C-alpha cells in the first residue's frame, strides 16, 4: 500500500535545491492567494537561473488538465480511473475513493480542484474545466453545460425536473412532451414552457434568460415572468431585468462568445471556468464596458483581447497567474 507523502519528502536527497524550491512555490501558487509581492518574488526566483526555470516547468507541467495527476506519482491508470468513475452508480463511494487517491499519491486537492470540481462528482452530469457537455433527455429536451457546471435529472410520470446545481446551462425544452418542466434552482424554481433558456447560478447570483418561449421564476413568495429576449437577474442587490440578443446570449455554446456592452468583470467571470490558472482583476477596471467576440476555448488569448480592447494591461506570470489592471 502506497504511503502518503510527508512534508519531509521535500528533503529527499534526490531532489536538488531548485526542485525543493519549486515544490514550495507550487504549494503557494496552488493556494490561489499569493500577494503582488509574492508574485514578484516568485517571478524573480524563476528567472534567476535556468535550473529554477526547468524545475518549475517540471513541477507545473503547464497546469493542463490531468497533467498534475500524471506527474504526481499516482498509480498507472489513475487518470483513466477518475475519468470513468462517474459512470458507476454509487457516486459517494467514487468520491471517497478519489479522496483516497489524492491522499495516497500526495496530490493537493486544491490543485486537482482547478480541473475537476470535486463537489460536483455526486451530480448526475458535470463538466470539468474548459469542457462543454451536450446531452438529450429522454423527453427530447436538450441541455448544454458550460465548464464547471452540474445538474441532476429527475424525470417522473408526473413532471420533468432538473436540479441545476451550479454553473451555466442552456436548456431547450421539448415541445413533444406535455408534462410540466421544472428547473430547481435552490430557493427558486423555473417553470418552463416549450422554449429555450440560459441559466447562470454561481456565487450567490442567479440569472435566467429567455431565448425563445416564456417561463415563470417563483420562490420565497415571489413570482416573475420571463419573456423572450429578456434576462432576469437575482443577486445581493435585488432583482433586475435587461434586454438581450438571444443569438448573442447563446453564442457561448459554440465557444465563440458574442458580448454586447458587458462589463469587464462579467466577461472575466464567464472566462474563468475555461482557465485552470488564476485570474486577478484590478478593482479599478471591473466596470469598463466591452463589445466584441471572444474565443473562450483560448482563454489566455481571450483575456488579452479583452484587456487590449479597453486599453488595459494583462500580465501573465509562470503561465498560470494572470493580472488585468490599468495601463501605466
Do residues 158 and 261 both lie within one domain? no
Do residues 229 and 288 both lie within one domain? no
Is residue 127, in this structure, part of any structural domain at all? no
In this structure, are residues 168 and 198 in contact, taking their beta carbons and an 8 Å threshold? yes
Reading the block at residue 267, the C-alpha cell is 466577461
Q: For residue 181, what is the domain's CATH number? A: 2.60.120.1440
Q: What is the domain range of residue 269? A: 255-326
Do residues 263 and 188 both lie within one domain? no
Q: Note every long-range contact of 125-129, with CB atoms under 8 Å and residues 24 or more positions apart, other chains counting.
A: 125/150, 125/151, 125/152, 125/153, 126/86, 126/150, 126/151, 127/167, 128/65, 129/65, 129/273, 129/274, 129/275, 129/276
Given 64, 87, 120, the domain boundary residue is 120
**H or E element, residue 45:** helix 36-47
Which residues, at least 6 apart from 198, have a Cβ–Cβ distance to it below 8 Å? 168, 169, 170, 171, 208, 209, 211, 249, 250
CA distance between the termini of the chain: 55
Reading the block at residue 199, the C-alpha cell is 441559466
φ, ψ for residue 291, nearest 5 deg: -125, 135
Which residues of the chain fall below pLDDT 50? Answer: 1-14, 61-92, 94-95, 97-99, 101-107
Give the model's pLDDT for residue 155. 87
Is residue 84, in this structure, part of any structural domain at all? yes
14-47 pLDDT tens trace: 456 777 777 677 666 655 567 777 777 887 888 8
**H or E element, residue 154:** strand 150-155
For residue 9, give the 3-state DSSP assignment: helix
Do residues 74 and 179 both lie within one domain? no
119-135 pLDDT tens trace: 677 788 999 888 899 99
Do residues 22 and 52 both lie within one domain? yes
Given 184, 218, 245, the domain boundary residue is 245
Instruction: Identify the CA nearest to 165 among candidates 175, 182, 154, 150.
Output: 150
Q: For residue 319, what is the domain's CATH number? A: 3.55.50.30
Give the model's pLDDT for residue 40. 78
Task: Please count the structural domains in the chain.
Answer: 3
Q: What is the pTM of this model?
A: 0.71
Give the model's pLDDT for residue 208. 96
In this structure, are residues 290 and 262 in contact, taking their beta carbons and an 8 Å threshold? yes
Do residues 51 and 102 both lie within one domain? yes
Reading the block at residue 145, the C-alpha cell is 453545460
Exposure string over 171-183, b if 16+ CB within 10 A, otherwise e: bbbbeebeeebbb
Given 96, 120, 144, the domain boundary residue is 120
Amino acid at each position: 500500500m502506497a504511503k502518503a507523502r510527508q512534508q519531509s519528502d521535500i528533503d529527499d536527497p534526490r531532489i536538488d535545491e531548485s526542485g525543493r524550491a519549486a515544490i514550495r512555490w507550487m504549494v503557494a501558487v496552488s493556494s490561489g492567494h499569493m500577494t503582488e509581492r509574492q508574485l514578484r518574488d516568485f517571478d524573480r526566483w524563476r528567472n534567476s537561473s535556468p535550473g529554477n526555470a526547468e524545475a518549475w516547468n517540471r513541477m507545473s507541467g503547464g497546469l493542463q488538465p490531468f497533467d498534475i495527476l500524471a506527474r504526481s506519482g499516482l498509480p498507472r491508470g489513475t487518470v483513466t480511473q477518475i475519468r470513468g468513475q462517474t459512470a458507476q452508480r454509487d457516486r459517494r463511494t467514487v468520491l471517497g475513493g478519489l479522496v483516497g487517491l489524492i491522499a495516497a499519491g500526495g496530490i493537493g486537492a486544491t490543485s486537482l480542484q482547478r480541473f475537476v470540481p470535486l463537489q460536483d462528482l455526486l451530480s448526475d452530469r458535470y463538466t470539468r474545466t474548459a469542457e462543454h457537455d451536450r446531452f438529450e433527455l429522454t423527453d427530447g429536451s436538450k441541455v448544454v453545460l458550460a465548464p464547471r457546471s452540474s445538474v441532476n435529472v429527475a424525470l417522473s410520470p408526473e413532471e420533468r425536473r432538473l436540479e441545476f446545481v451550479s454553473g451555466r446551462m442552456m436548456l431547450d425544452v421539448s415541445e413533444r412532451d406535455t408534462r410540466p418542466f421544472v428547473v430547481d434552482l435552490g430557493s427558486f424554481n423555473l417553470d418552463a414552457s416549450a422554449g429555450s433558456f440560459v441559466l447562470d447560478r454561481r456565487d450567490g447570483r442567479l440569472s435566467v434568460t429567455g431565448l425563445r418561449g416564456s417561463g415563470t421564476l417563483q420562490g420565497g413568495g415571489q413570482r416573475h415572468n420571463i419573456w423572450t429576449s429578456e434576462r432576469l437577474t437575482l443577486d445581493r442587490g435585488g432583482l433586475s431585468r435587461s434586454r438581450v440578443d438571444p443569438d448573442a446570449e447563446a453564442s457561448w455554446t459554440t465557444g465563440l462568445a458574442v458580448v454586447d456592452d458587458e462589463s469587464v468583470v462579467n466577461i472575466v467571470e464567464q472566462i474563468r471556468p475555461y482557465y485552470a490558472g488564476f485570474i486577478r482583476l484590478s478593482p479599478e477596471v471591473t466596470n469598463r464596458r466591452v463589445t466584441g467576440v471572444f474565443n473562450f476555448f483560448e482563454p489566455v488569448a481571450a483575456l488579452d483581447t479583452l484587456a487590449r480592447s479597453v486599453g488595459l494591461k494583462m500580465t501573465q506570470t509562470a503561465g498560470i497567474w494572470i493580472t488585468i489592471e490599468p495601463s501605466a
